[in-house]
A and B are shown apart, each in its own frame.
Chain A
Amino acid sequence: MDKLADVLGSMFDFATTANLLGYDFVQQALLAAALLGLLAGAIGPLIISRQMSFAVHGTSELSLTGAAAALLAGIGVGFGAIVGSVVAAVLFGLLGTRARERDSVIAVVLSFGLGLSVLFLWLGPERAGSKFSLLTGQVVSVGNSGLAMLTAGTVIVLAVLAVIYRPLLFASADPEVALARGVPVRALAVVFAVLLGITAAFGVQIVGALLVLAVLITPAAAAAQLTADPVRSTVLAVVFAELAAVGGILLSLAPGVPVSTFVTTISFLIYLVCRVVGARRRKAGRARTATARPTPG
């Protein structure tokens, strides 16, 4: 209890926060969080419209399996995490666009993948500090090389997303007509899965596998409560994801509490507010369309 009181007391200790902001590793962490927020906000609304939230969860957990396998093989953990989540995302992407078909298969693959990662960690080197950091995130250890990789990844993902955005939106929201118009729906599902896998792997390194949903899904879900305009909801999702990721790190600095706590709390609070506002708006909207509807006959 005392610990919690300490946290509340020091959360707004701006002097300590300002002091910590002078350190390189803190600045790198903030930059990494900002990049993740940008990526998550851009890709989140598409995940929602493809009904892939559970696939994101599966993807991020399976990046853990990839990381554990990389640890065992002595390759870079970050690289292993990306490979793991991309493989998982492509697998889930190939399962079709209907959530009903995917749901149980994701659970099946996810549980097996986690079982494997337990095995890899047990087989692996004794002193593996990154074991738990992958579950809850270790943003302060991003480092310069990690930041360079994150920057490159962000640029690549955003560039590909810009090229495929319109057909992807078409295929996500309206797959039948998109197919009729010649949009390569299935190929786009795979490309999107790769982008999703890369994003989830970065998220795993910053906020941890358990909490990727808080950055990837919650901001986009909150934005969807407020608007059905795809452009506006993307902008809102980016803003919300930045608030959660960057804001979460800033607040966690002085108390020294794990970043994840604040990231999830902020994004959850944003979601709650949006939900209330959205429900009110929808009520008003329904009343409006009801009166505008032509009388039958």
Chain B
Amino acid sequence: MGAALTEPTDPNESPAVEPPDRSAPAQPATGAAARRAPRTPGDEVVPAVRLRGASLGFGERTLWEGLDLDIAPGEFVAVLGPNGSGKTSLLKVLLGQLALRAGTAEVAGAPARTGNADIGYIPQQKTIDAGVQLRGIDLVGLGVDGHRWGLGLRGRGERARRVAEAIAAVGAERYAHAPLELMSGGEQQRLRVAQALVGDPEVLLCDEPLLSLDLANQRLVAELIDRRRRSHGTAVVFVTHEINPILPLVDRVLYLVNGAFRVGTPDEVMTSEVLSELYRTEVDVLRVRGRLVVVGTGDSLDALGSAGAEHCHGEEPQSGVHA
């Protein structure tokens, strides 16, 4: 057989070709390798997101400073805070679109940079313009190779396979071939999840992905994200003004208020004491039928129990809750 002739030069058989540094201490694995490689005791898991002494501000104004945060693979972190507290700016730092004023930001072991394939990104639902002519599968396909140059005529089969897989994972097969403009917000957002996950990222950055969805679709989309992080160890950074739809899923909360912040489990952070301290005013956190109701902050985060004060005007008596 022909294979016998090549045997002496087969790198797997011949010890002479083995890399000399094989016995050296293992480099900290990055990317997908870290997640999937069997971990021996003593090996440090590379955090999906690592912030060290991170500060961000514009001009005179400081959004937050001295932020230390490690997010482990598979961890679900909710980023809460009033408008203008720098929630979205935190995502932009991780996306490499904003530079920190001080400190470092790392994603999957490498400094934050633009075009990072380790990151999946889900924006608000309303970002798809009504006039955009695209089908569901095209949107997901852009998640595969939309950032690459050329027409992409090669590898179309592999691309189609990955797109179909991602669409099946979010249960969108029935309408994925329809134009986006004919879909409901919930259907669009499920395809957004597929688009963000089709590249199998280490970190999923979500910027208010549940905004303007009804309660049933909020739960559906949140569960899709939760399932993924459990099955694939994808870390989730979830910016939201409303914690209730994701409260059962959240491991930790990063709560930002006017330059101050607090990190911890929902039980540690979402208390009257902590929020009163952050807002420097008297804030009450109430648990009502398994939902958190925050009263007294004076911003849109207030009265979360009414399913988001921002888009429920007229349906709930707001004045009564703001006290």
Residues of A within 8 A of B (CB): 45, 48-49, 51, 162-167, 169-170, 173-174, 176-183, 224, 227-230, 233, 282, 285-286, 288-289, 292-293, 296-297
Contact = CB atoms under 8 A, between A and B. Distances in A.
A163 B135 contact: no
A51 B214 contact: no
Interface in B169-190: 174-175, 178-184, 187
Interface in B104-124: 113-116, 119, 121, 123
Most buried by B among A164, A166, A179, A181: A181
A119 B182 CA distance: 49
A224 B149 contact: no
B276 interface: no
Given A166-B149, A176-B127, A177-B123, 17 more contacts: A45-B133, A49-B134, A51-B129, A166-B146, A167-B146, A169-B146, A174-B127, A177-B121, A177-B127, A177-B143, A181-B147, A183-B115, A183-B146, A229-B138, A230-B138, A289-B187, A293-B184
A289 B185 CA distance: 13
B132 A282 contact: no
Contacts of A162: 150-151
Interface string B144-160: 01111111100000000
Given A180-B121, A293-B184, A296-B214, A167 B138 contact: no
Contacts of A181: 115, 121, 143, 146-147
Contacts of B97: 179-180
B118 to A, nearest CB: 11
Contacts of A182: 96, 113-116, 147
A166 B217 contact: no
B321 interface: no
B274 interface: no
Contacts of A297: 216
Majority SS at the chain B contact face = loop
A173 B150 contact: no
Given A167-B148, A296-B217, A51 B131 contact: yes
Contacts of B180: 228
Interface of B: 95-97, 113-116, 119, 121, 123, 127-129, 131-135, 138-139, 142-143, 145-152, 174-175, 178-184, 187, 192, 195-196, 205, 214-217
B151 A166 contact: yes
Contact of B149 (A163, A180, A296): A163
Nearest to A179: B97
B259 to A, nearest CB: 26
A285 B215 CA distance: 25
B249 to A, nearest CB: 19
B175 A289 contact: yes
Contact of A173 (B142, B145, B216): B142
Contacts of A180: 95, 97, 119, 121, 123, 205
28 contacts: A45-B133, A162-B150, A163-B150, A166-B142, A166-B145, A166-B148, A169-B146, A170-B146, A173-B133, A174-B132, A174-B146, A177-B123, A177-B196, A178-B142, A180-B121, A180-B123, A181-B121, A181-B146, A182-B96, A183-B115, A227-B133, A228-B138, A228-B180, A228-B181, A282-B182, A289-B182, A296-B215, A297-B216
Contacts of B129: 51
A228 B183 CA distance: 13
Contacts of B174: 292
A185 to B, nearest CB: 11
Nearest to B174: A292
Contacts of B127: 174, 176-177
A51 B151 CA distance: 22
Most buried by B among A166, A224, A289: A166
A91 B115 CA distance: 27
Given A45-B133, A228-B135, A285 B182 contact: yes
Contacts of A170: 142, 146-147
B128 A48 contact: no
B13 to A, nearest CB: 41
Contacts of B179: 228, 285
A166 B135 CA distance: 15
B182 A286 contact: yes
Nearest to B122: A177
Contact of B134 (A178, A228, A292): A228
A176 B143 CA distance: 12
A35 B150 CA distance: 22
B37 to A, nearest CB: 26
Contacts of B217: 296
A166 B150 CA distance: 7
